[in-house]
A and B are shown apart, each in its own frame.
Chain A
Amino acid sequence: MTKTCPDTRTAYRDARPSRPARRASTTGGRGGAVELALFRRLVRDLILAPHGGREAARAKVVGYLTAARDPDPAFGELLFECADRGGPDGLDLATDVVARVGPAAARYARRLLTTDGPKWKPADRRRRVTDNVWYALLRGMGQSAAEPVDQLVPLLSAAFGGTVGIREAAAHALGDFADRGRTDFRLAARSVLEQMAKTDAAATVRESAAEVLHGLEG
């Protein structure tokens, strides 16, 4: 007798294994749920690693993301775990990882922007986890070797359309971005920061942008 049920092994549609919805009993094999469980463990090991062991743990996470055919579900796991349960160093850990896998992170940021961006409400004060996810993603991307053109759409969207927390994160990420790379992009980033410092509706965002500009000039 064979099992003929839809797949309840994972909540994630993206992560479902490529098997027919009505399947035979024992041939499920490895699928998205296994990969996510494995990656979740790598991230937990990174969060819990002592300082001396962090480099090795980080290398495993970076290696996984770099080698994955579709790293997007894993990016989601990394950012969520670090933002939500990563403790005081969680955001720095996620930022470091994102910075090292730049191009794939920029692709993930653009894709997340299409789904999460429409839910942004500029006056929202704090959405703790989501703001933190975007903080690590934008800052990591700003420090990465991803193509500047690929970074600009998420950075500018966050700077002008994000929640208060996301706009603050964008200001810092634009600072990272303006600190390196081609002159024309650096000038563009500075110009955006100047505009944020003058015109953003939230005082905290204006202050962050002014602080970042001051740092760039120093």
Chain B
Amino acid sequence: MPGISLDLVQTVAIGAFNPHIVRPDWMIRQKLCKAEEFGGVEFLPTGDDEDEVFRFGRQEWQVDYTRLSVSVRKPGSPAVDDTGLAVAGVIRLLPHTPVHTVGHNFHFSCTTTEWGGKPLPQLGPNVGPALDGREPTQTSWSGTYERGDGVWTEVTADVSRTHDIVVLLFNHDRAVEPEDHETALHAAGRLSEDWAFTVRLLNDLFRIEWAS
């Protein structure tokens, strides 16, 4: 039976990006992506007219005036699909673009059957029964860990009894002073470090041993 799966690796940088600049042709001109990959570029439909969403190979790029994100769905491994390096490439080319925060996200999911008896964080014994003992259809737990040096990790575990699905979301973010270009670059390049922290938390919190 398949176990928990890594569904998404994503890097999000909050900052004053310009969707009219960060575009595939610009990225190729700046040698951020290889020209021969251009044939593989596709603009994707978006529900927001200020967004530009396109894909280079496996990477989905989303740019608007407040954020830049690069995502890979069903990634092989974060070591291969390093979305942080892609974001760092853009930040490097735009030293005058203020960046406030850089975050790395890892999303996992499995069915409740696949989850089995693994532990889930609880709110504690003080939460009593409600509505004549009815169980909630969806329960979510979220915890934030301060890792030092301005790095925060938020873990969210969500159990949907309606859909028999457990999702785990890990968000690691680093605040950046808007004029501190080097720190923004450094933050975008820390995906593998955050992945290692995610693997450790998977084990510590949920007794999940992630085979890399």
Interface residues of A (CB under 8 A from B): 1, 3-14, 25-30, 33-34, 37-38, 40-42, 44-45, 60, 63-64, 72-73, 76, 79-80, 85, 111-112, 114-116, 118-119, 127-130, 133-134
- Interchain CA distance A38-B159 in the complex, whole Å: 9
Closest Cβ of chain B to A201, distance in Å, is: 22
Task: Evaluate contact between B102 and A111: CB separation under 8 angstroms.
Answer: no
Count of chain B residues near A, Cβ 8 A: 52
Asked if B198 is at the interface (CB within 8 A of a chain A CB), the reply is no
**Set B45, B64, B111, B167: member contacting A133, Cβ < 8 A:** B45
Task: Evaluate contact between B169 and A34: CB separation under 8 angstroms.
Answer: yes
- Interchain CA distance A38-B8 in the complex, whole Å: 12
Residues of chain A within 8 A (CB-CB) of B162 are 63
Q: A38-B109, A38-B160, A130-B42 are in contact. Are A9 and B48 (CB under 8 A)?
A: no
- Interchain CA distance A25-B74 in the complex, whole Å: 29
Closest Cβ of chain B to A167, distance in Å, is: 16
Q: A25-B144, A28-B142, A72-B47 are in contact. Are A9 and B167 (CB under 8 A)?
A: no
Residues of chain A within 8 A (CB-CB) of B55 are 129
- Interchain CA distance A111-B156 in the complex, whole Å: 31
Closest A residue to B167 using CB positions? A37
Name the segment of B65-73, B89-97, B126-134, B202-210 touching the other chain. B65-73
- Interchain CA distance A21-B175 in the complex, whole Å: 13
25 pairs of residues in contact across A and B, judged by CB atoms under 8 Å: A5-B152, A5-B175, A7-B14, A8-B102, A9-B171, A13-B64, A13-B66, A27-B142, A28-B154, A29-B140, A30-B158, A33-B107, A34-B140, A38-B109, A38-B158, A38-B160, A38-B163, A40-B109, A41-B167, A79-B45, A115-B48, A129-B45, A129-B55, A130-B42, A133-B45
- Interchain CA distance A127-B143 in the complex, whole Å: 41
Q: A11-B10, A11-B69, A85-B73 are in contact. Are A115 and B46 (CB under 8 A)?
A: yes
Task: Evaluate contact between B142 and A41: CB separation under 8 angstroms.
Answer: no
- Interchain CA distance A172-B73 in the complex, whole Å: 31
- Interchain CA distance A12-B66 in the complex, whole Å: 11
Task: Evaluate contact between B47 and A111: CB separation under 8 angstroms.
Answer: yes
Task: Evaluate contact between B169 and A9: CB separation under 8 angstroms.
Answer: yes
A interface majority secondary structure = helix
Task: Bits for B135-153, please: 1 = Cβ < 8 Å to A, else 0.
Answer: 0001010111010000010
Task: Evaluate contact between B10 and A116: CB separation under 8 angstroms.
Answer: no
- Interchain CA distance A116-B105 in the complex, whole Å: 27
- Interchain CA distance A37-B49 in the complex, whole Å: 23
Residues of chain B within 8 A (CB-CB) of A27 are 142
Closest A residue to B11 using CB positions? A8
Task: Evaluate contact between B163 and A42: CB separation under 8 angstroms.
Answer: yes
Apart from A11-B71, A26-B144, A33-B156, what are 9 other A-B pairs with CB-CB below 8 Å? A5-B152, A5-B173, A8-B102, A28-B144, A33-B171, A76-B45, A115-B51, A118-B49, A129-B55
Closest A residue to B2 using CB positions? A48
Closest Cβ of chain B to A61, distance in Å, is: 9
- Interchain CA distance A42-B142 in the complex, whole Å: 22
Task: Bits for B1-43, please: 1 = Cβ < 8 Å to A, else 0.
Answer: 0000001101011100000000000000000000000000011
Closest Cβ of chain A to B159, distance in Å, is: 10
Residues of chain A within 8 A (CB-CB) of B101 are 5-6, 8
Residues of chain B within 8 A (CB-CB) of A26 are 142-144
Residues of chain B within 8 A (CB-CB) of A11 are 10, 12, 62, 67, 69, 71
Q: A112-B45, A115-B49 are in contact. Are A9 and B163 (CB under 8 A)?
A: no
**Set B7, B163, B175: member contacting A64, Cβ < 8 A:** B163
- Interchain CA distance A114-B42 in the complex, whole Å: 19
Q: Which 10 A-B pairs have the closest CB atoms?
A: A8-B103, A11-B69, A41-B109, A8-B12, A30-B140, A9-B171, A115-B49, A116-B45, A25-B144, A37-B167
Closest Cβ of chain A to B109, distance in Å, is: 4
Interface residues of B in 55-83 (CB under 8 A from A): 55, 62, 64, 66-67, 69, 71, 73-74
